Amino acid sequence: MKKILLVLASIVAVLALVAFGADRAVASVAQNTINDRISASFPGVASTSTRIDGVPVLTQVARGSLDHVSVEMTGVPTSAGLTLDTVDVELYGVSTAVPRTAATVDARAQVSTSALQAKVGDRYVVRPEGDQLVASLAGGLPIEARLRPVVTDGKITAELVSVTLFGLSVEASRLPASLTERITALVGSLGELPLGLVATSVTVNPAGVQIVAHGTEIPLENV
């Protein structure tokens, strides 16, 4: 009896290894497919990396939904001509059949100071300071504008805080509307976020600006 049990245990172990190998193979194919579609959906993206979390993947595929898919992207261009340095996306409840959707999506993106600088051009110099972005005129009048990125109705814009001219600070509320519009346009909207997500917060950090976004029932047919 003991010998039979040992043989059965060996067979179960071998079957488990085979099943694990098959599961990893399915996961690899699925990850590569998702990764290729994402790369094709974002022309100009520098790199993409996809990981399907949780095991067994075979069971998830069989029931038609992946529990958790993580996607990391670098150098992602936006519709406003700004490049997101990194984008980390967490997708939950990803359907494997048509129509392909993700029940919930959370994303975090980082925009470097150099990317913002490239956006505003050589006329201004941009730097992060505390929770604000400071834009100063390059090689001209000693004028400096302080802007705070904000989220309004899911869109990211820049709120003018104050302007300093020759060392004299002027509150934004006391500036002419035309001047305020011109200054806030330096940063302006960051455009549409990847996967049609809606921004929930934006913060300034020493490296630039970080964006947090969220979405539900996100269509993935073009991904």
pTM over 0.85: no
* Domain enclosing residue 54, as ranges: 2-104
pLDDT tens by residue, 24-79: 676 777 777 777 777 777 778 888 888 877 767 777 777 777 888 888 889 888 77
Q: Which residues pair with 198 in a beta bridge?
A: 214
Tokens of 174: 């006391």
pLDDT tens by residue, 125-168: 888 999 988 888 777 677 788 888 888 887 787 788 888 877 78
The total domain count for the chain is 1
Residue (of 34, 16, 14) closest to 24 by Cα position:
16
Q: Is residue 142 part of a domain?
A: no
Q: Is residue 12 part of a domain?
A: yes
Q: Is residue 111 part of a domain?
A: no
50: exposed, middle or buried (Cβ count in 10 Å: 0-12, 13-18, 19+): buried
Tokens of 68: 């958790």
Count of beta carbons in the 10 Å neighbourhood of residue 9:
10
Task: State the Cα–Cα distance between residues 199 and 212, nearest whole angstrom.
Answer: 6
The rounded mean pLDDT for the chain is 74
Q: Is residue 55 part of a domain?
A: yes
Q: Is residue 41 part of a domain?
A: yes
Question: pLDDT band at residue 206, thresholds of 50, 70 and 90?
Answer: very high
For the chain, the farthest-separated pair of C-alpha atoms sits apart, in whole angstroms, at 94
Question: pLDDT band at residue 116, thresholds of 50, 70 and 90?
Answer: confident
Q: Is residue 131 part of a domain?
A: no
Q: Cα 216 to chain center, whole Å?
A: 15
**Residue 88 phi, psi (nearest 5):** -110, 120
Tokens of 88: 């980390």
Q: Is residue 67 part of a domain?
A: yes
Q: Is residue 27 part of a domain?
A: yes
Tokens of 46: 């520098």
Question: pLDDT band at residue 205, thresholds of 50, 70 and 90?
Answer: very high
